[in-house]
Chain A
């Protein structure tokens, strides 16, 4: 008797307990997700039907979700990044990747020229072409009598061959190429490989340019391109005024006004060239740069300034370098240099070196630390510009054949002359 009573009591209490538990668990599983799911199953094991497992409240972040930002949609050619930063493309996809997205809007990019080689013109041309292709306004100042003539040398966009993707693009997402030997693999179905990032949008942001073809006429003649001849300027007042009026049209203040969202680019070639009228006035040039920088901060533009570093005196040159937000320099390489050919792979194809001294960062205290700061400038298929990390040639000459095509790789410090 007592036994059966106990049993009944037991039976009665259990469903109640189970009910309570499940109610409790039901409320909590909203916040605790997966952990509670298993306990829901355990507590209803006594008598009730198990509830269907709730899907966990953790979900894999889809790679295509865009970061939230106050601006609902970025204008074409502008990429939004962390810390409220926005980038525009430099025209060279490799350089965008190295700099962490592109040139920061509102920053000054300075390129120190090498008097022996015209590589800074490559950077300048790609920068300007990218702006024109995206329909951004452009202000160009050059030390020639006919600055418009320089626009005729701008490269056209490389016609995209969708089947041929550059091998470097695949590497970060190429998990399918990594074969893992796992003894339980046969018990699981094939996992879906992660979606490759939607390449189309990425290509639009930063295009490859074909240096052998020049940009279409109608693009060059568009009204939002201005040119200034700096050779005949005896002081920088005119340049300063023109830059200010250009930048005020692209002010960042009116964010709500959608029509005002387009970015602008200022490209100044060889600002300190010896033939320019204002050449002797070092301090005036510095104050021009300072005022340009101040105007840029409150506008949606990027300025790219190249200058021949060797012509300036040391102290003035240092001041220029400090004024830059992003500082790059180009260097020529000697021709038929056997030592350099032995040291680096792909020496024959290299045009020059690009050195990244400083990378701009806004709204953050964390600096950008690059794993390699010197890159070689090469032409891919003689058409478009690529930047590659420098690779040390193998010491043993016989195995040189397998390393014939140099690619980017992970870091390993090697001093050039130590073996």
Chain B
């Protein structure tokens, strides 16, 4: 299922649509967000290397960790510096975000890393990202992916409104293929997480497997495993819900499927007032049309036969006639002719209104 998300990121921006954006949201109780972010970042770089993704490169905006950390990480997987230079650009907002270091200090000029001194200027970030995409060569048609390693740090320096508009402008920009970013939900008001979810097309939340947050016994488990719940917004307005278990291992992260019933949560939140369908289907309508109602066939010239719940008189007469034929042979024996009293009455009796029901 995480593969599903990676696939969406790989496919990138569809024609006439905004770029897909993935928000990875974790919390204090399952703080594995940075591991998940690393996983997606490294998977994406290998996709770029294979040239199977729409994006030709990735711009990483590093707020939370030093760029060297990421470069080391990529090297340990197997990318060397020359390959990284082709595909990866890092906007360093970690080393000197507010411009405190003096300008005279030595800074090695790296092709990969660009230091940004003024993080408060969100428009500046936007411009720098775009510069990096243009700078790495390629015409206006090549697209890049952008990754933010921590939205929380961005929110420390600027307002929610400016960060939201930055993300939205990136999404709608023609040079951006996809976005993904990490956020810790505890560090800000719920409004901030809600806004981020509003903007994103894919939302991955990490939750601890045991809901008992205060129990120390489970704390260690929470640092190695978590439930990875993903909500993917599809174009037709439906939401795809996926759930997997994420395990932290020596060399990375592994996703295992879970066989749990997440749908119970969903149906409980939606309890519409449901009615029963009383409409008829076509077949039922035809059948209804074929039913002959009691008085409908009157006036058509047939004899009116009143159904009175007993054998019809004509039948009786035929039977009696047969009996009479038989009986003439046995005329010497005694016979009992029994005529019911109610046979004398006309069938249209006042007592029982159903007596004149004509079927």
Contacts and interface: CB of A to CB of B under 8 A. Distances in A.
Interface of A: 115-119, 179-183, 185-186, 231, 273-277, 279-280, 308, 310-313, 331-340, 343-345, 351-353, 355, 372-374, 389-392, 402-417
Contact of A414 (B161, B233, B236, B276): B276
B181 to A, nearest CB: 14
B58 to A, nearest CB: 24
B263 interface: yes
B275 A390 contact: yes
A339 B270 CA distance: 11
B121 to A, nearest CB: 16
Contacts of B323: none
A372 to B, nearest CB: 6
A185 B267 contact: no
B231 A181 contact: no
SS of A interface (majority): loop
Nearest to A411: B275
A407 B161 CA distance: 44
Interface string B19-50: 00000000000000000000000000000000
B34 to A, nearest CB: 24
Nearest to B358: A183
Interface stretch (B65-73, B102-110, B193-201): B193-201
Nearest to B159: A280
Interface in B284-310: 284, 293-296, 298-299
B20 to A, nearest CB: 14
Contacts of B194: 115, 310-311
Contact of B195 (A274, A389, A406): A274
A4 B266 CA distance: 100
Nearest to A186: B299
B160 A406 contact: no
B168 interface: yes
Contacts of A413: 273, 275
B272 A117 contact: no
A405 B266 CA distance: 25
B237 A118 contact: yes
B234 interface: yes
B211 interface: no
A59 to B, nearest CB: 30
Nearest to B269: A331
21 contacts: A182-B295, A183-B298, A183-B358, A273-B198, A280-B161, A308-B198, A311-B198, A333-B270, A334-B238, A334-B240, A343-B267, A353-B270, A373-B273, A389-B275, A390-B273, A391-B277, A392-B276, A403-B277, A406-B279, A415-B274, A417-B267
B277 A312 contact: no
A352 B235 CA distance: 12
A197 B258 CA distance: 58
A170 to B, nearest CB: 12
Of the listed residues B194, B270, B272, B281, the one surrounded by the most CB atoms of chain A closer than 10 A to its CB is B272
B271 interface: yes
Interface of B: 159-161, 164-165, 168, 189, 191, 194-195, 197-199, 231, 233-234, 236-241, 263-264, 266-268, 270-279, 281, 283-284, 293-296, 298-299, 356, 358
A351 B294 contact: no
A312 B191 contact: yes
Given A181-B294, A413-B273, A334 B263 contact: yes
Contact of A409 (B160, B164, B234, B275): B275
A334 B274 contact: no
Nearest to B198: A115
Contacts of B294: 181, 183
Contacts of A343: 267, 274
A378 to B, nearest CB: 11
Contacts of B266: 334, 337, 339-340
A412 B276 contact: yes
B263 A339 contact: yes
Given A117-B239, A402-B283, A414-B275, A275 B191 contact: no
A390 B274 CA distance: 5
A352 B281 contact: no
Contacts of B195: 274, 311
A186 B295 contact: yes
A391 B275 contact: yes
Nearest to B268: A417
Contact of B199 (A181, A274, A340, A406): A274
Nearest to A113: B198
Given A392-B274, A409-B275, 9 more contacts: A181-B293, A186-B295, A310-B194, A333-B239, A334-B239, A337-B266, A340-B263, A391-B277, A415-B274
A416 B358 CA distance: 45
B314 to A, nearest CB: 21
B333 to A, nearest CB: 45
Contacts of A332: 233, 237-239
A231 B165 contact: yes
Given A119-B237, A181-B295, A339-B264, A275 B277 contact: no
A365 B195 CA distance: 39
Given A310-B194, A335-B238, A335-B239, A277 B161 contact: yes
Contacts of B275: 372, 389-392, 409-414
B270 A331 contact: yes
Contacts of B160: 274, 279-280
A355 to B, nearest CB: 8
Contacts of B237: 117-119, 332, 351-352
A310 to B, nearest CB: 5
Contacts of B356: 183
Nearest to B240: A335
A351 B233 CA distance: 12
A391 B277 CA distance: 6
Contacts of A391: 274-277
Nearest to B298: A186
A274 B164 contact: yes
Contacts of A345: 277
What 10 A-B pairs have minimum CB-CB distances, sorted nearest first? Answer: A274-B164, A407-B279, A181-B293, A374-B272, A275-B165, A335-B238, A186-B299, A274-B195, A117-B237, A115-B198
A333 B237 CA distance: 8
Nearest to A144: B172
Given A274-B199, A338-B263, A402 B161 contact: no
Of the listed residues B276, B295, B299, the one surrounded by the most CB atoms of chain A closer than 10 A to its CB is B276
A274 B23 CA distance: 16
Nearest to A314: B190
Nearest to A404: B281
A324 B194 CA distance: 23
Contacts of B165: 231, 274-275
Contacts of B271: 415-417
A383 to B, nearest CB: 15
